[in-house]
Amino acid sequence: MLRLRTRKPVQLDLDHMRMLHHEAIEQLELMRTAVEAAENASDRLRDSLDDMAFNHWHAYMDVMHMLCIHDQAMGSAMNRFGLKMRDAADDDSNPRQLGLQRLLLLLLLAALLRRHRRMEYIFGLRGGPMGDYLKETSTMEREHMAELVSMIHNMV
């Protein structure tokens, strides 16, 4: 007789997830630096810095794609906000309007950086008495990250 096996949820590799969140933090910090510098630059220098910021955003979206592959809950959260990770990095149809909303972009980047640092911290904890609380809070963090990514992606 054939026995049906129930599928066990895939266990997250916590070290790999921490590494991916760390790389996301690096890309966002590089983008933030370029946006801050472009705020004080003019003409060609500003355009070059804006290009750097866009390049870091695309690299960040590549990291998010990898995060979504390994963390199905993150992928689901991203899909709820209308971001299909395969298409997000290739969407160059919108004209760039970075200069108009630099301050808002910097604030959103700071919020997104904070969320990634929090997720990196959560994945660094290996169980313990706060396990249930951390599961709940990580769900909320994923939702907020997805919403922030969607906001920034619509601006960029």
Domain assignments of the chain as residue spans, ordered by start: 14-89+98-155
CA nearest neighbour of 97 among 28, 156, 32, 34:
156
| Average confidence (pLDDT) over 108-122 | 94
- Summarize pLDDT for 86-96 with one digit per residue, the tens: 555 455 555 55
Q: What is residue 54's predicted lDDT score, i.e. its pLDDT?
A: 95
- Summarize pLDDT for 136-148 with one digit per residue, the tens: 888 899 999 999 9
Query: Distance between CA 93 and CA 70 in Å, rounded?
Result: 28
The mean pLDDT of the chain is 85
DSSP structural state of residue 40: T
